[in-house]
Structure 1
Amino acid sequence: MTGRSPANLPQTSDDPFQLDRLAEELVTREAAVSARQDGEFDTHDLPDFVSLSHDNPFLTSPDFNVEEFLLSRSNTSLSDLRMELREYLAQLKEELVKLINDDYEAFISLSTDLRDEGDRLARLKSPLGDLKSQILQSRSELQVIQNAIQEKLEKRAVLREEKALLHLLLKLSESVTRLESLLLIAPPENEATASLGANIARMPSHLTNIEDGAEDRSRGNRAKHLGRVAAEYTQLLYHASKARAQKCVFADEMQWRIDRIQSTISSDLDDVFGTTLLALTGGWGDGKVTEVEKNKSISDLTECLRTYDILGLWRDAEDVLKKEVVRKFVKKTIYPGALAAPPSPIVPHTPFPASKATSLSVATPMPPRTPYTPFSAFVFTTRNPSYPSGSSSASPYAHLLEDSDEPLAKLYSQALRFVERDLSTIMDIAEKVSVRSLHRPRPDKEVTIHASIRECLSDGKGFEIMANVIWEEFGRAIMDELGGTVFASGRPNEFRKHRELSQAFIRSLEFLAPSAHAIETMRRHPVYLAFEQRWQLPVYFQIRWKEIIGTLEELLAVARVEPSFAHDKNTFATPQANAVWVAITGCWSAEVFIPELCHKFWRLTLQILSWYKTWLDQALSKPDVISKASAGLASERAFANPSQSRSSTPSLTPEPSSAETTAVDDSILRQNVAVIVDVKAMRTNVLTIWREEISLMLPNAPDFAEDETDGTMAQEALNRVLSNLTSLIPSLSNEIITILTRRCCDALLPVRSIPSQFRAMSQKPSPTAPSYFISSVLRPLKSFFGIDGGGGPGVPLREEFLTPYATEIFDNVAQRYVYYLTAMKKTEESLRRLKRGKKTGFSLFGSANTAKDDDGKDEERIRLQMVHDVDAFGKDGESLGVALANSESYKALNDMVQALEAALDSS
Structure 2
Amino acid sequence: MRDDLGMYLKLLRSAMIDLINRDYADFVNLSSNLIGLDKAINDLQAPLGQLREEVLQVRQALDDEITAISTNLDENLKIRERKQSLYSLQHAYKSLKKLSSILSMETFMENPTKIDVLEQAAIELNQLKFHISRCKVDMSTDQEKESSKLESLYLTFLNELFLACIHEKNSNLMVRCLRIYLTLDKITIAEEQVKHEVLRPLIYNIVNEENLQTDPLGLQSIYHKLLNILNVELKQLLDITLYPDRISVKGFNFLVNSFWIEVEEKIEQYIKSIFAPGDPVLFHKRYTATLEFLIKLEAECVTPETLAALRNHPQYKSFLKKWNLPVYFQIRFQEIAGNVETILAEPVSPDSVKGSLTSLTQKDFSLHATCIVWDNLLRIWADDIYLYQLFHKFWKLSLQICSRYQTWCQNTMKQVWPVINETNSSSNSEHSTRLNFLVYLYTDVEKLINALPSFLQMVQLKIKDENVIISKLLKESLDETSKNLANLLPSVTKEIVNELSEQCVTYLKQVSDIPRLFRRTKRDVPTKPCPYIKSAMVPLTNFYTDYNKIIPETVIPWLELTLSSLTQNYLLFVTDVLTSVQKTEESLRRLKKIRDKSTGILPSEPQGTSDDEKIRIQLKVDVDGYVNMIKEFNITTTDIHHLQELIDAVEAAVKK
TM-score, normalization by structure 1: 0.55
C-alpha deviation, 1:170, in angstroms: 1.6
The answer for the alignment partner of 2:381 in structure 1 is 588
Are residues 313 and 871 of structure 1, via their aligned partners in 2, closer, same or farther at CA, if it must alter by over 3 Å?
Answer: farther
Aligned partner of residue 893 in structure 1, secondary structure: helix
User: Are the aligned partners of 2:504 and 2:537 in contact in 1 as well (CA < 8 Å)?
Assistant: yes
- In the alignment, what sits opposite 2:297? 509
Q: CA deviation at 1:321?
A: 1.3
Deviation at 1:419, TM superposition (A): 0.7
1:668 lines up with 2:592 in the alignment? no
Which of the residues 102, 105, 110 maps onto 1:203? 105
The answer for the alignment partner of 2:17 in structure 1 is 93
2:498 corresponds to which residue? 738
1:710-749 counterparts in 2 under 5 A?
Answer: 712=473, 716=477, 723=484, 733-748=493-508
Q: 1:520 to 1:897 in 2, by over 3 A?
A: farther
The amino acid of 1:473's aligned partner reads E
* Cα gap change, 1:880 to 1:521, in 2 (>3 Å): farther
Contact 2:239–2:248 under 8 Å retained in 1: no
Paired letter, 2:13: L
- Give me the whole-angstrom Cα distance separating, in 2, the residues matched to 1:407 and 1:429: 33
Q: Which structure's relative contact order is higher, taking Cα pairs within 8 Å and 6+ residues apart?
A: 2
How many angstroms apart in 1 are the aligned matches of 2:93 and 2:605? 146
CA distance in 2, matches of 1:799, 1:206: 99
Counterpart of 1:501 in 2: which secondary structure?
helix
SS in structure 1 at match of 2:382: coil
Q: Return the letter of the residue paired with 2:260.
A: W
2:185 is aligned with 1:185: no
Pairing partner for 1:807 from 548, 560, 563? 560
Equivalent-residue separation in structure 2 for 1:307 and 1:799 (angstroms): 87
Residue 113 of structure 2 is matched in structure 1 by 218
Question: Which residue number in structure 2 is paired with residue 416 of structure 1?
Answer: 227
Q: Does 1:816 align with 2:569?
A: yes
Q: Which runs of 5+ in 1 are unaligned?
A: 1-66, 71-77, 187-199, 210-216, 284-293, 343-404, 440-461, 630-656, 701-708, 840-849
Residue type of the alignment partner of 1:781 = L
Distance 1:157 1:814, change over 3 A: same
Residue 85 and residue 160 in structure 1: after superposition, are their counterparts in 2 closer, same or farther (change >3 A)?
A: closer
Instruction: Confirm or deny: 8 A CA contact 2:344 2:408 kept in the other structure.
Output: no
Q: Match of 2:384, SS?
A: coil
- SS of 2:105's equivalent in the other structure is coil
Q: Is the 8 A contact 2:561 2:640 kept in 1?
A: no
Distance of aligned partners of 1:253 and 1:170 in 2 relative to their CA distance in 1, 3 Å threshold: farther
The equivalent of 2:256 in structure 1 is 467
Matches within 5 A, 1:599-618: 617=411
The answer to whether the 8 Å contact 1:489/1:495 transfers is yes
Aligned 1:44-55 pairs, distance under 5 A:
none
Aligned to 1:499: 287
Separation in 2, partners of 1:689, 1:411 = 38
8 Å CA contact 1:770, 1:868 repeated in 2: yes
Match of 2:152 among 238, 263, 288: 263
Would you say the 8 A contact 1:758–1:862 is kept in 2? Answer: no
Give, in angstroms, the shift of residue 316 of structure 1: 0.9
SS at match of 2:434: helix
The answer to whether the 8 Å contact 2:567/2:641 transfers is no
- Whether contact under 8 Å (2:366, 2:440) holds in the other structure is yes
In the alignment, structure 2 segments of 5+ residues that lack a partner are 594-603
Contact 2:560 2:639 in 1 (8 A): no
Aligned counterparts of 1:84 and 1:619: Cα–Cα separation in 2: 95
**Aligned counterparts, 1:242-257, within 5 A:** 243=135, 248-249=137-138, 255-256=144-145
Provide closer, same or farther for how the CA distance between residues 254 and 780 of structure 1 changes in structure 2, counting only shifts above 3 A. Answer: same
The residue identity in structure 1 corresponding to 2:241 is: A
SS state at 2:262 partner: helix
1:780 corresponding residue in structure 2: 539
Deviation at 1:319, TM superposition (A): 1.4
What amino acid sits opposite 1:736 in the alignment?
A: I
CA RMSD of aligned residues (A): 5.8
TM-score, normalised via structure 2 length: 0.72
1:629-640 matches, cutoff 5 A: none
Find the aligned partners of 2:489 and 2:455 in 1 and give their Cα distance: 22
Q: Which residue of 2 aligns with 1:147?
A: 64
Return the alpha-carbon distance in structure 1 between the equivalents of residues 113 and 235 of structure 2.
27
2:188 is aligned with what amino acid?
Answer: R
Closer, same or farther: CA 684–532 of 1 in aligned 2, 3 Å: same
Q: CA deviation at 1:807?
A: 2.6
The equivalent position to 1:691 in structure 2, one of 452, 456, 462, is: 456
Output aligned runs, 1:272-421, within 5 Å: 272-280=161-169, 294=171, 296-297=172-173, 300-301=174-175, 303-334=176-207, 337-338=210-211, 406=217, 408-421=219-232
- Match of 2:163, as an amino acid? G
Indicate if the aligned counterparts of 1:559 and 1:619 stay in contact, CA closer than 8 A: no
For residues 389 and 462 of structure 2, the distance between their equivalents in structure 1, rounded to whole angstroms, comes to: 10
2:599 matched to which residue of 1? none
Q: Give the SS at the match of 2:234.
A: helix
Residues 1:88 and 1:414: Cα distance change in structure 2 (over 3 Å): closer
Q: Report the Cα distance in structure 1 between the residues aligned to 2:312 and 2:480, rounded to whole angstroms.
A: 39
In 1, Cα distance between the equivalents of 2:140 and 2:133? 8
**Residues 247-303 of structure 1: CA deviation (Å, up to 9, x unaligned):** x435999654653454355334423432332332xx6xxxxxxxxxx5x35xx42x5
User: SS of the counterpart of 1:835?
Assistant: helix
1:203 alignment partner AA:
M
Alpha-carbon offset, residue 517 of structure 1? 5.0
8 Å Cα contact 2:500-2:540 kept in structure 1: yes
Tell me how far 1:140 sits from its aligned partner. 4.5
Residue aligning to 1:565 = 355
Q: Do the aligned residues in 1 keep the contact of 2:340 with 2:376 (CA within 8 Å)?
A: yes
TM superposition shift of 1:318? 1.1
**Which secondary structure state, in structure 2, belongs to the residue aligned with residue 514 of structure 1?**
coil
Classify the secondary structure of the residue corresponding to 2:355: coil
Q: Deviations over 1:576-617 (max 9, x none)?
A: 544454444444333344455666666766676677656984
Shift, 1:151, TM fit: 1.5
Check 1:180–1:867 CA distance in 2 against 1; reply closer, same or farther (3 A cut). farther
SS of equivalent to 1:185? helix
- Which residue matches 1:622? 416
Q: Judging changes above 3 Å, is the alpha-carbon distance between structure 1 residues 204 and 869 closer, same or farther for their aligned structure 2 residues?
A: farther
- What CA distance in whole angstroms lies between the structure 1 residues aligned with 2:47 and 2:325? 102
2: CA distance between counterparts of 1:859 and 1:878?
A: 27
Alpha-carbon distance between aligned partners in 2 of 1:546 and 1:611, rounded to the nearest angstrom: 15
Task: Call closer, same or farther: CA 1:673–1:82 in 2, change over 3 Å.
Answer: same
Give me the whole-angstrom Cα distance separating, in 2, the residues matched to 1:474 and 1:761.
108
- Counting matched residue pairs gives 631
Residue identity over aligned pairs, in percent, reads 21
> Cα distance, 1:892 vs. partner?
2.9
Partners of 2:53 and 2:652 in 1: CA distance: 142
Q: Is the 8 A contact 2:637 2:643 kept in 1?
A: yes
Q: Is the 8 A contact 1:227 1:307 kept in 2?
A: yes
Q: Identify if the C-alpha distance between structure 1 residues 201 and 225 changes in structure 2 by more than 3 Å, giving closer, same or farther.
A: closer
In structure 2, what is the Cα distance between the partners aligned to 1:659 and 1:692?
47
Q: How far did 1:809 drift?
A: 1.2
- Compared CA separation, residues 801 and 223, structure 1 to 2 (3 A): farther
In structure 2, relative to structure 1, the CA distance for the partners of 1:472 and 1:97 (3 Å cut) is: closer
Identify if the C-alpha distance between structure 1 residues 334 and 153 changes in structure 2 by more than 3 Å, giving closer, same or farther: closer
Shift of 1:621: 3.6
Contact 1:412 1:505 in 2 (8 A): yes
